[in-house]
Structure 1
Amino acid sequence: MSTDTVRNAAGDHGLSEKGLKAGSVGLIGAVVIGVSCIAPAYTLTAALGPTVSEVGVHLPAIFLVGFIPMLLVALGYRELNNAMPDAGTSFTWASRAFGPWIGWMGGWGLIAATIIVLSNLAAVAVDFFYLMLGQIFNNPSLADLATILPLNIATTLVFIAAACWISYRGMETTKTFQYVLVAFQLLVLGWFAIAAFSHVANGTAFDATAISPDWFNPFAVGSFSQFAAGVSLSIFIYWGWDVTLTMNEETKNPEKTPGRAATVTVLVIVVIYMTVALATLSFAGVGDTGLGAGNPENQGSIFAVLAGPVMGPFAILMSLAILSSSAASLQSTFVSPARTLLSMGHYSALPKSFGKISPRHKSPSYATVASAIAAAGFYVVTRTVSENALWDTITALGMMICFYYGITALACVWYFRAEAFRGVRSFFFKFLAPLVGGVILLVMFFKTAIDSMDPSYGSGSEIGGVGLVFILGAGVILLGAVLMFIMYKKNPEFFRGQILARTSQPYNP
């Protein structure tokens, strides 16, 4: 092992810099990219309806409950980043705390989840692209072009290639692109919320419903199964804030800025979600007919249904906002898997080719292109074989998110175990917060895994009486284990702890 794999600017951690462009992103830029990756406009239009169908008017309570473990985990991520700023995040930190085997699987969970969601984001962008064309040219038949499989696949691949190209050009290009698209989608969501509340005040809402304190009471949800399903959905809608940590080697003040950006991103998102959720419930109610938020026919994209009645002739702006949201998230989501793959290649947990850096753009060249090829291949295969397989894999994302977030949160607890009880701040931020957040997410992982074995979970597809969602989720994790053993045979040094050694943070009085 060369000496440059022993030190970085933060000290002797067994970590090293990878050649990324340092100091290219500040706090505001990191928060913008974090919000973009979460994609509030796209996420809300897809998640509001299904969550309402589970918990009704208690949607705000569930959003708040889902926010709590995200915030607790984000605090743990911040502490890990302060001690070990490294682009590998979950992979690197879990390797340092628990050893190379668990670290490798933590990295795989992040990579698999983000690769899968990249294909979904591209597909959503394509759907709204053709819907937008239909609205612009006043020709609804143009929206149906998205249902033509060869055209759909070709357009999706173009979107993935374009996002890959922007990401390949580095964080400066990414940041500029994101400022415009994030500002636009937040402006439209604010417009929608104000317009919805105005309709309620003027008596022109579809089903005007007064906001009640009971909406914020999670204990009023009908059953634990409904509660768990709602929390699982709400965890998904917050996912993506950790992209701010994967940029830590490219941010100004890398020990502090990424962690602060993660916390600010989660807080900004919960404000956006609560405002839009309250506006939607107040305007449409939770009924299962007409414009009601509980209508199964509205759940695919609730904003596509409500934008016209709420925003009138400006409804096209919502289509543009969702298109820009999914396109922006498609591009910013490339940041996480590319830098995790880069780190795994750099530390010899994957072939060294993944550790290559573009000499011109100082970005993960090979890893970025590999992420795009994997996402494109995944979409082509699943979309061609079965559309249910594609959407059930997206449903299984919750399992992978809880899996790698939970591992990373507990890595914080274990890594800082020597100083956890040496002060109030250490106890809360390095022990209690990540412990509670990690346990909640791992409980949700096992709960989702058990529930998804039921064939009625997701699309209703099954193989041998076992739900397709469980088969896909467990299959992706098992695939990671197989690849890990293959890498062990090819490069045992990493798995013997000879490159990224297991350690703990000593207490410094």
Structure 2
Amino acid sequence: MRSSTGRGLQANVLGTSDTVVMAVAGSAPAYSLAATTAVLFGAVGHAGPAALLYCALPMLGIVLAYARLGRIDVNAGAGYSWVGRTLHPFLGFLSGWALVVSATVFMVAGSLPAGVLTLSLIDPDLAGNTPLAAAVGAGWFLMMLLVVLGGTRLTARAQLLLTGAEIAILLAFLLAALLHRGAATAFDWSWFGLDGFDGTAGFASGALIAAFYYWGWDVTSNLSEETRNSGRTAGRAALIGFGVVFLLFEAVTVTVNVLLSAERIEAGGANVLAVLGQEIWPGVGGKVLVVAVLLSTVATLETTLIQVTRSLFAMGRDRTLPERLGAVHRRWNTPWVAIAAVGVAALVLFAAAAAAGSVQSVLRDAVAAIGLQIAFYYALAGLAAVVAYRGLLLRSVRDFVLGGVWPLLGSAFMLWVFAQSLGELSGTSLTMGLGGLLLGLVPMVVYWRKGSAYYRPAPLCATRALAADPPPSTRRPRRPRRDDGVPATDF
């Protein structure tokens, strides 16, 4: 793909293992657990494992939708392109805009804990200083901004180091938890049942928070133009990464339920993993898990920067936002104008967050707002996959279930969570969530009136796309075909 300036992103940089690491890092296991375990417990109590499970099932339908859509349209904008070519360009733009807004808000929601954690390792008394935490978090953010600016290869190497260390620490503590004696609460299979929720509103609140846990695996689709054999690699990596983080989330959430009392979970707040570490390994355990959370936070800042800057790059390339956003650096092949724009916007938000109050309150409102936007653009992607593959859904049971029923159920679930949550969120969360989304109507109308070609798309149809794209001999020489000559799909 070429940018509006004639230069495109560097192709064939990432392999399968690189992309799987990106998917895991995007969901940020340690950070997500630290930032939202107490929030999830406050919403659903010991039913956290159930919320994560019942959100994972429809979320898997969205993962399948991304995998199938990425097979027929390799685009750094991902859902922005797919939704625009299947449902409507206006919905496609708002889908991309929702990702941009949620990712930009996350720059603060992610960087503030990084600042707090860094200060807690130096001097615990400094951790409560919100302005200082915002300044240190901004420093981490700027460091990751430079890494992302330096190119995809450098980004992949940094991710391998950060995420590898994070996962190793989490697995070591899970193993130690199995050997730990004493429990605050006996394990109960009811934690995975539906009875633990306070009606449908309580279930929706838990599902919205759980959606934030999983968010980030789709970074593989935004990197598709820079991935080898991206039509298959991006989707497979997302599936593998999603499976890994699901198991980690469930295992750690159950461990927290067993080893920590309700009072300690709620008091722990964003430091709940440090409390868990102290319980498992008194003395240094808390600090080791703080290091894991810090690594995870920095790693997911990097993947989120990739998502938002690639989305802005695609929008600039299509002239649905200022054309300069589609500019690519001559040396590093990265969308440097988009990276600079995100940097400026995030620093403004850092200043606002520093004056907003406690880190915990900022996190709580940001998580809910981001969850609302995630539900919106994931739901649209699920619908887009069903529409794009509608001509192939009745060819086999596999196509019907994996390409139709599951993505459609995932989309319906996300829309239901979106609607149910509107009456449960605080005014601040609604302002960030819905207000940020509605703000996108302004550039959408402006660039539509300017005549951007994006608003006159070529429809995305899997039947035509797969028939026109026979597999290269280097990928799968004897790839099976259906009776009508259309290649079989992987997902």
**What TM-score comes out, normalization by structure 1 length?**
0.86
**Gaps spanning 5+ residues in structure 2: where?**
468-483, 485-491
- CA drift of 1:224 comes to 2.2
Q: Which residue of 1 aligns with 2:453?
A: 494
- CA drift of 1:5 comes to 7.2
Which residue of the other structure, out of 415, 420, 434, is the alignment partner of 2:407? 434
Q: Distance in 2 between matches of 1:216 and 1:493?
A: 49
Would you say 1:446 and 2:446 are equivalent positions?
A: no
CA contact (8 A) 1:33 1:178 kept: yes
Tell me the amino acid that sits aligned with residue 405 of structure 2.
Answer: L
Which residue of the other structure, out of 20, 25, 28, is the alignment partner of 1:31? 20
Residue 446 and residue 474 in structure 1: after superposition, are their counterparts in 2 closer, same or farther (change >3 A)? same
- CA drift of 1:16 comes to 13
CA contact (8 A) 1:383 1:390 kept: no
Which residue of the other structure, out of 276, 279, 288, is the alignment partner of 2:252? 276
Would you say 1:128 and 2:122 are equivalent positions?
A: no
SS in 1 for 2:270: coil
Q: How does 1:251-330 map to 2 (within 5 A)?
A: 251-284=227-260, 287-289=261-263, 291=264, 293=265, 296-315=266-285, 316-330=287-301
- CA drift of 1:154 comes to 3.1
Q: Distance in 2 between matches of 1:258 and 1:55?
A: 34
Structure 1 stretch displaced more, 388-397 or 360-369: 388-397
CA contact (8 A) 1:101 1:495 kept: no
Q: How does 1:29-108 map to 2 (within 5 A)?
A: 29-108=18-97
Q: How does 1:374-413 map to 2 (within 5 A)?
A: 374-384=345-355, 391-413=364-386
SS in 2 for 1:501: coil
Residue 154 and residue 99 in structure 1: after superposition, are their counterparts in 2 closer, same or farther (change >3 A)? same
Residue 386 and residue 495 in structure 1: after superposition, are their counterparts in 2 closer, same or farther (change >3 A)? farther
Structure 1 stretch displaced more, 123-132 or 373-382: 373-382
Residue 415 and residue 231 in structure 1: after superposition, are their counterparts in 2 closer, same or farther (change >3 A)? same
Which residue of the other structure, out of 129, 137, 148, is the alignment partner of 1:167? 148
Tell me the amino acid that sits aligned with residue 412 of structure 2.
Answer: V
Q: How many residue pairs are counted as aligned between the two chains? A: 463
Q: Distance in 1 between matches of 2:354 and 2:442?
A: 25
Q: Which residue of 2 aligns with 1:362?
A: 333
Q: How does 1:132-281 map to 2 (within 5 A)?
A: 132-134=121-123, 140-144=124-128, 146-147=129-130, 149=131, 151-200=132-181, 203=182, 205=183, 207-209=184-186, 211-281=187-257
Cα deviations by residue, 1:382-402 (Å, 9 ceiling, x for unpaired): 433566567524321111000
- CA drift of 1:415 comes to 1.7
Structure 1 stretch displaced more, 41-50 or 77-86: 41-50
Residue 113 and residue 416 in structure 1: after superposition, are their counterparts in 2 closer, same or farther (change >3 A)? same
Q: Distance in 2 between matches of 1:217 and 1:121?
A: 31
Residue 16 and residue 357 in structure 1: after superposition, are their counterparts in 2 closer, same or farther (change >3 A)? closer
SS in 2 for 1:334: helix
- CA drift of 1:407 comes to 0.8
Q: Which residue of 1 aligns with 2:8?
A: 19
SS in 2 for 1:21: coil
Q: Distance in 1 between matches of 2:283 and 2:7?
A: 50
Cα deviations by residue, 1:156-210 (Å, 9 ceiling, x for unpaired): 332221111000111111111111111111122122222222223xx4x4x152x
Residue 353 and residue 213 in structure 1: after superposition, are their counterparts in 2 closer, same or farther (change >3 A)? same
- CA drift of 1:340 comes to 0.7
Residue 85 and residue 385 in structure 1: after superposition, are their counterparts in 2 closer, same or farther (change >3 A)? same
Tell me the amino acid that sits aligned with residue 163 of structure 1.
Answer: M
SS in 2 for 1:396: helix
Residue 189 and residue 438 in structure 1: after superposition, are their counterparts in 2 closer, same or farther (change >3 A)? same
Residue 26 and residue 495 in structure 1: after superposition, are their counterparts in 2 closer, same or farther (change >3 A)? closer
CA contact (8 A) 1:193 1:280 kept: no
| Aligned-residue RMSD, C-alpha | 2.3
SS in 1 for 2:96: helix
**What TM-score comes out, normalization by structure 2 length?**
0.89
SS in 2 for 1:255: helix
CA contact (8 A) 2:316 2:326 kept: yes
Cα deviations by residue, 1:325-346 (Å, 9 ceiling, x for unpaired): 1111111211101111111111
